[in-house]
Amino acid sequence: MPDLLDSAVKQLRDGHLVAIPTETVYGLAADAKNILAVNQVFAAKGRPSGHPLIVHIANPTLPTMSSFESQNAWQEVLLNWSRDVSPQALALAQAFWPGPLTIILPKAKSVLLEVTGGQETVGVRCPNHPLTQQLLKLFDSALVAPSANRFGRISPTTADHVRDEFPDGSILILDGGACDVGIESTIVDLSRWDSHGAVILRPGAISKAMIDEVLRNLNPGESLQPLKQGDASQPRVSGSLSAHYAPRTKLVLYDPNDVKSMNLTNCSGKRVAWAHFENTINIDFSSSSHLDEIVLPGASHELAKCLYATLRSLDQLSVDIIYFEKIPDSEQWDAVRDRLGRASVGSGA
């Protein structure tokens, strides 16, 4: 593995792309300070140029550091990317990094507009994967690393998924095993703190309640503005389009309490895949020519971890339509519900 890491560092320094593992999904990494390398990411993915990238940084802290030393270490690193590193940003970094949280901050002057999608804000996160942390420290700079898949399609959570996306072998892939979290990071916007407070722009494993607790503990005597959904003035961020994470097979989300609305006549003579939770209402797919059935994990974190692998497997069954049971309407399911909603909108194309 040391030789492979050295090769990856050389590839990145030469302006090439490397697929890297993180705890969320595999990323297609490039030198965040190299405009030609950054543009290669957009070209390889077929990604619109106005869709911003997230900057991935190495963990500057050590277990032996005091809280004060740790905060100073985060501030020093973040000042390379943001012109204003607030106490709120430092508190969230100390609480959740390395981990699946992206923080939106006012960008530093030196940050490439190609990275930010032309905006004056930048998203930064510190991934929690030992192999990628080693790479970042050896590279001694930051990487942009959107999901290593064609734009709008299902994100990869294994090295084999990346190979399926880029089968020509032109991209070096660091195999770090299956991703532990399985869906993209939570994105929280702190760039408009004075007017909007903290705003979650994309749900993930770090929940609203977890972020809110840290921010309230930072200012126990103050009534903090609540975390809330974004508005028209919010920064554009990764994974925010209505159609995203999409299988090529048509994906239909259904309510098990309203089976009549599924219009099962559409299944007549067709190959159908049915993904559902255990003990759900049984559905009669007898009019279909073939049925593949998958029982989903009942815990949100378990389904999140296998969600994209499940969608990829369903997409490879050569079925005509996928019926997927709707996700429970509660905060713990927000991230999975978000990904499946966008996958449904973009599916079948």
125 among annotated binding-site residues: yes
DSSP class of 156: P
47 is in an annotated binding site: yes
Nearest to 102 by CA among 330, 343, 335, 346: 335
> How would you classify the pairing of strands 101-106 and 121-125?
antiparallel
Distance CA 59, CA 21 (A): 16
Which tokens in the block code for residue 215?
């921010």
Annotated ligand binding at 178? The verdict is no
Looking at the chain, list the stretches that DSSP marks H as alpha helix, in order from N- to C-terminal side: 2-13, 35-45, 67-78, 87-96, 113-116, 130-139, 159-165, 193-196, 208-218, 300-315, 334-346
163 is in an annotated binding site: no
Q: Report phi then psi at 176, rounded to 5.
A: -110, 20
* Residue 147 assigned ligand-binding role: yes
Q: According to the annotation, is 310 in a ligand binding site?
A: no
Instruction: Estimate to the nearest angstrom the gap between the alpha carbon of 176 and the chain centroid.
Output: 17
Q: Would you say 233 is a known binding-site residue?
A: no
Is 281 in contact with 212 (CB distance < 8 Å)?
no
Q: 116 labelled as ligand-binding?
A: no
Q: Is 155 annotated as a binding residue?
A: yes
Binding-site residues from annotation for L-threonine: 24, 56, 125, 145, 185
The binding site comprises 24, 47, 56, 121, 125, 145, 147, 155, 185, 202, 245
Q: Which residues are annotated as a binding site for ATP?
A: 47, 121, 147, 155, 202, 245
